[in-house]
Chain A
Amino acid sequence: MNNINSSDVIVFVCAGLLIILLLFGFILFFIISYRHKQKDFNLLQTQKQKIDEQKVALETTLKELKETQDQLIQNEKMASLGELTAGIAHEIQNPLNFVNNFSDINIELADELALAIQKPINERNVQDEESIINIFKENEDKINHHGKRAAAIVKSMLQHSRNNTGTKEPTSINALCDEYSRLSYHGLRAKDKTFNATLETSFDPSIGLININAQDIGRVLLNLLTNAFYATNEKKKTVGENYLPTVKISTKNLENKIEIRVEDNGTGIPETIKNKIFQPFFTTKPTGQGTGLGLSLSFDLIKAQGGQLHLQSKEGMGTTFIIILPS
């Protein structure tokens, strides 16, 4: 032991000190890294919480967006009903005028007949009396016909505003096309007095009843027709006097399918936007005039019936929309 010299002691002490220092360093490193980890963990925790909150917020927004979309679609339906109102008023007014007029006449005829049959037998004119009775009956038929016409218009109006029940019923496509072309024509006429267009119809009589959701197809027809009239109206503003705005609606019986064409000689659709027009919210109308949902909704409604909606258009020449429905 006496061999241990002082330099050795210094070495040992130094080594011991180094070890202690290292140990201390390790401990310090661990403490610091633990603190870091703790901090990271806390950070992660707060981040996770934030993400959770954002997720909830996003879900709420998505739900709100879906609700807004539903609301917009419903608004679109109601807006198109609003556009119809003037047309409906006109279409109901006409048959009601006939009902009122023919029933007035029948009151007069009944009075006339009452007077006639009170005459002494030798003064009575049976032929005249029979003629009055015949006219009376004819008028009654007219009253009946026009009353039913008005009722049918009210019925289709109610169907239009009602929420989609998804029921398919055997429907006369030709009658539906005729009804909606009249409604949209008179709607536009009533709204813009300066406007006039020729409405041509050509219905294939061999089309019988087709099993479809009439109110949905009606909605599509209304949309396509309103667009068609709008396109001719726009063209008239630029072309002027010599232009004859014409909208044509026609039906055709194809094998296992039926085709409805809505044709106009209006402004046409430029190539560049042809692939956009069925997208929701796409519109070329000035702000506030179109929702951009009409054609997108139409496309979906036709698809839901197992049909197709096609477009043919040439800028400046006109547009044709073709509906294909399974029969």
Chain B
Amino acid sequence: MKILVVDDEQDVKTLFEQRFRKEIKNGEIILAFAFSGEEALEFMNANEHEAVLILSDINMPGMSGLELLKHIKEKFEKPPPIVMMITAYGDKDNYNEAIKLGADDFLTKPVDFIALKEKLKTKTQ
């Protein structure tokens, strides 16, 4: 399963690579990274059918995670990628907006990786 992680913090890459070290080693998961909404769209255009699941931060300079979500849900229909939104501000407005735009799940920072792994299993089965 290929997961595209979108976050403007560079160290998120290292963190995910480490948290999913075993899964990566076993070949269960392949991680790809984008550091902005714009970069994520570029990746999606270039590798349309690859990323099954997108994990995106909401608060990013430039294109926000919610705008990215809107673009993805409008543009990439087959196969529809699963999009999970992550935010540091777990407020209702963001949640409602994300769900309205078609987000498949909503996570709050700090990310609980054990819970996330459980979610990944159920979402992709």
CB-CB under 8 A for A97 and B110, given A102-B18, A193-B89, A193-B94: yes
CB-CB under 8 A for A198 and B61, given A98-B15, A105-B18: yes
Instruction: Tell me the nearest residue of chain B to A138, going by C-beta.
Output: B14
- Cross-interface CB contact of A135 among B11, B18, B61, B94, cutoff 8 Å: B18
Q: B15: shortest Cβ distance to chain A, in Å?
A: 5
Indicate if the CB atoms of A100 and B110 lie closer than 8 Å.
yes
Produce 1/0 per residue, A181-200, CB < 8 A to B. 00001100110011011110
Report how far A98 CA is from B14 CA in the complex, Å: 10
A33 at the interface (CB under 8 A from B): no
Indicate if the CB atoms of A190 and B62 lie closer than 8 Å.
no
Identify the interface centre among A142, A146, A193, A199: most chain B CB within 10 Å of its CB.
A193
Indicate if the CB atoms of B88 and A94 lie closer than 8 Å.
yes
A199 partner residues in chain B, CB cutoff 8 A: 61
A interface, how many residues as a size bin?
20 to 34
B100 at the interface (CB under 8 A from A): no
Report how far A93 CA is from B109 CA in the complex, Å: 9
B75 at the interface (CB under 8 A from A): no
A139 at the interface (CB under 8 A from B): yes
Q: Which residues, 119 to 147 on A, are CB-close (under 8 Å) to B?
A: 135, 138-139, 142, 146
CB-CB under 8 A for A193 and B91, given A101-B19, A101-B110, A135-B18: yes
Indicate if the CB atoms of A94 and B15 lie closer than 8 Å.
no
Report how far A97 CA is from B113 CA in the complex, Å: 12
Report how far A247 CA is from B91 CA in the complex, Å: 25
Report how far A100 CA is from B110 CA in the complex, Å: 9
A97 partner residues in chain B, CB cutoff 8 A: 109-111
Report how far A101 CA is from B21 CA in the complex, Å: 13
A90 at the interface (CB under 8 A from B): yes
Report how far A309 CA is from B84 CA in the complex, Å: 45
- Cross-interface CB contact of B15 among A93, A102, A189, A198, cutoff 8 Å: A102
Report how far A190 CA is from B89 CA in the complex, Å: 7
Q: A110: shortest Cβ distance to chain B, in Å?
A: 13
Report how far A138 CA is from B109 CA in the complex, Å: 23
B89 partner residues in chain A, CB cutoff 8 A: 90, 189-190, 193
Q: Which residues, 78 to 135 on A, are CB-close (under 8 Å) to B?
A: 90, 93-94, 96-98, 100-102, 105, 135
Indicate if the CB atoms of B59 and A189 lie closer than 8 Å.
yes
Report how far A146 CA is from B11 CA in the complex, Å: 10
B111 partner residues in chain A, CB cutoff 8 A: 97
B77 partner residues in chain A, CB cutoff 8 A: none
CB-CB under 8 A for A93 and B19, given A98-B11, A193-B94: no
Instruction: Tell me the nearest residue of chain A to B89, going by C-beta.
Output: A190
Report how far A146 CA is from B14 CA in the complex, Å: 13
Report how far A2 CA is from B111 CA in the complex, Å: 143
B11 partner residues in chain A, CB cutoff 8 A: 98, 142, 146
Q: B33: shortest Cβ distance to chain A, in Å?
A: 15
Q: Which residues, 258 to 280 on A, are CB-close (under 8 Å) to B?
A: none
What are 6 A-B residue pairs whose CB atoms fall within 8 Å in the complex? A90-B89, A97-B111, A101-B19, A189-B59, A189-B89, A193-B93
Closest 4 CB pairs of A and B: A97-B110, A196-B64, A193-B93, A105-B18
